[in-house]
Copies of this chain bind each other. A is one copy, B any other.
């Protein structure tokens, strides 16, 4: 990029909500998305929730002429749902799967099965490092059981960006963070990485009020979820920073507004975010400019630690109660075994229970034992990861406080 004229980079980011058999009018919408992308010729397209590889393949062949480079990230049982299309060559990719992502037994909130991750792509003269994450969804804002998990993810995302972007000229992040702009997770992510919010920085903005990306006027959104937010909420972001001797400015930010341009249905239940960035080399190194002053950042880290701590205590309680359940089931099995052996050895004149109930009870005990042991192991893992994050946050806090 050295000596090049200023570069204008047009980015398209969308959570496509493309779950086979479950998402409404999926194929029609994927078709619309493909048409729009082909028509508008962005430089970089970051898509989330493209759960079906077939959808990706169809998009890929449709877009081959205008976006010759693409990548689909695989992870989890269903997949990561992340894919990228680019006008620039993709030189290298890396996927980082968050260590915590909900609970396998919460089948109605399928997050665990998706293997939520952040994808990293290096491309375009090896100067861009676009990350496109998706974080755990929020199902109930008042009683958000997943907040500690989302915070662990936000922290891991921030750490992943810090560690992988040291040699990049420009770092971009586009994705569905499932967090409101004022949430502790997003303040932590922005403060710790120095990423700037395209919506806040854009010279021109056009789209839904307040930059919202989940709006009541979109026919696919759940109206009940948005009741407390009549304008909608903003949970999809384009963030960016220049790392070395570059400057990045957001010239224009746009969102779709409840329907796809020229169509009667939206692309997805989320609105698309389109940013035009202006990238220029400058004389001297810009240096990372953290978005938040450090004393404030220390407060954010402390707040995040408190929330992770709440999650840690809950996870410990779960681990304990599942462990106790497993022990009880084991005891019941042992008592039954003793009774059965006693009956066999002729110590008891006849079996105390009818055979059928006896076997049913034994099977039930085995089932509970297996299930409770599995859950105990799962919550043990959860405790470990929450502890690890808590410790890292403590280390970060110490580093912030010790800095002259």
Contact = CB atoms under 8 A, between A and B. Distances in A.
A94 interface: yes
A359 B385 CA distance: 41
Contacts of A92: 159, 162-163, 395, 399
A87 to B, nearest CB: 17
Contacts of A359: 356, 359-360, 363
Given A120-B163, A359-B356, A363-B363, A388 B75 contact: yes
A115 interface: yes
Q: How large is the interface on A (under 10, 10 to 19, 20 to 34, 35 or more residues)?
A: 35 or more
Given A164-B164, A167-B166, A356-B356, A384 B76 contact: yes
A387 interface: yes
Interface in A153-178: 159-160, 162-164, 166-168
A355 interface: yes
A231 B54 CA distance: 52
Contacts of A399: 91-92
A117 to B, nearest CB: 9
A79 interface: yes
Interface in A62-107: 71, 73-77, 79, 90-97, 99
A99 B99 contact: no
A392 interface: yes
A96 B93 contact: no
A168 B164 CA distance: 11
Contacts of A71: 395
Contacts of A334: none
15 contacts: A90-B395, A91-B399, A92-B162, A92-B163, A92-B399, A93-B392, A95-B99, A95-B388, A96-B96, A97-B97, A115-B381, A164-B164, A356-B359, A359-B359, A359-B360
